[in-house]
Amino acid sequence: MKRKKIDFGGGVTAESNAFLAPLAGYTDFAFRGICAEFGEAVTCTEMVSCKGLMYGSENTKALLLTHPSEKVKAVQIFGEDRDVMRAACESEFLAPFDLIDVNMGCPVPKLYRNGEGSALLNDLKKAEGILSACVRSGKNITVKTRIGLHRGGPYVTAEFARMAEGAGVKAITVHGRVREDYYAGEPVYEEIAAAKNAVTVPVIANGGIFTAEDADRMMEKTGADGVMIARGALDRPWLFAELNGTPAEADVRALMLRHLGALREQFGDRYAAVNFRKMIPHYLKFFPGAKPMRMRLMTAESTKETENLLDEFFSSHSPVLSNRI
């Protein structure tokens, strides 16, 4: 994949065109910091509820933590009330972020029932009103969407892209699947290409990217300006180094300990040990015979217990993986 800078305007430029997708429950500040160290250029928070933010939810505010390694910092917001969303954009809570990304693609039923996320593809006029309101905040606004709601169409990708550009967004990320597919199946490359051909702002392609070869295929078939990687980054955060042409070996033990330590420092020992469990299957995915240790790590009650188990496991497994794995 050819590396290039992405200019979002407003003085915000990404040094490369491989980005980490916001993943609810996973892309916390600690994991984003690790991806940034491997060269990921734009780091984005997990989805943040605008209503939760404006109502002062402490859990929502915790999602806004950042890591010193992050370069261009983005926050992803969701909602369906344009006034509340503009107020969130203008709030002090989002002031530290270079980009504000509006989610108009999340497929989960709760958001869909509330008229949020991908439900906004049912009403592009309302979606336009939200984006225009957010742009009027004076912040750098981007948007993430899907190609449509149902298999076989109708697809709204090009129409949505033109609407979003007209509303003033700085870039558009297109997940090349429909809502009912969630995260399964091959992306519809032609629809991402349709978005790219419809606008002049950068278009970032998302969906089904787990390897450098996947990224090459996505760029070749869509003509997109860059790629956004979701689940593939959970298993291989060092993928960003490969995509940027700076291959790096990954010391998985060191990555795990850094991630765990960052959580402990911010939230305390018990929270860190329990919260870290969800990352264990991803970090240990490429180690043969790791299942028994994964099961033991999933019941660890303290960070010390987690660290001792990792010492035990890596005493018989080399922690270093090639970036090509």
Q: 207 Cβ partners below 8 Å, 6+ apart?
A: 175, 176, 177, 183, 187, 218, 230
Q: What span, in angstroms and rounded, lies between the C-alpha atoms of 206 and 19?
A: 9
Report how far residue 212's alpha carbon sits from residue 144's, in angstroms, rounded to the nearest whole number: 22
Angle subtended at Cα 224 by Cα 160 and Cα 325, rounded to the nearest 5 degrees: 125
Pairing of strands 18-20, 12-14: unpaired
Q: Which of 35, 44, 50, 106 is catalytic?
A: 106
Pull the structure tokens for residue 204.
């970032």
- Residue 66 DSSP symbol: -
- Cα angle for residues 159, 220, 229 (degrees, 5° grid): 75
Active site residue 106: yes
- Under 8 Å CB-to-CB from 268, ≥6 apart: which residues? none
Q: Active-site residues: which are they?
A: 106
